[in-house]
Structure 1
Amino acid sequence: MQLTVNGEAKLIAPGSRVADLVRELGLDGRKIAVERNLEIVPRSRYDLDALAPDDRIEIVAFVGGG
């Protein structure tokens, strides 16, 4: 199925969850925030929330420093 991730089209297996997408992108789930269709996805729901065709996902990484 097709999603939009950070403005770019992305194909992912049907039935995938937020956690599957995070793993596929090689990201550390502890250092990012995920927004799905303009709503923040709590980290505790990454393994529970199934993605749907045409979902719009925004992922931002936390960056330390000053």
Structure 2
Amino acid sequence: MRIEVNGTPRDIAATTLEAALAELGWAETRVATALNGDFVPSAARATQVLREGDRVEVLAPMQGG
């Protein structure tokens, strides 16, 4: 299916947000996620179903100053 990840169209096989993060290489990274503009807590990612055309935002914390 085709979704948008951080503004870039991506084709993925995953059907849940958790599986998509793994497929896209973020499985072991601490990130914040939003689906179609709504925050998705990490505990809800495994059950959050993705649909064609969804917009996913993935934000990783930055260190430094």
Deviations 1:23-50 (A, max 9, x none): 0111145510111000000110111111
Number of the residue aligned with 2:25: 26
**TM-score (structure 2 length as normaliser):** 0.87
Alpha carbons 1:29, 1:43 under 8 Å: kept? no
Alignment of 1:1-66 (within 5 A): 1-13=1-13, 16-28=15-27, 31-66=30-65
Backbone CA RMSD of aligned residues:
1.6
The SS at the match of 1:31 is coil
**Count of matched residue positions in the alignment of Structure 1 and Structure 2:** 65
In structure 2, runs of 5+ residues without a counterpart are: none
What amino acid is the match of 1:27? W
Runs ≥4 in structure 1, deviation > 3 angstroms? none
The percent identity for this pair of structures is 31
**TM-score (structure 1 length as normaliser):** 0.86
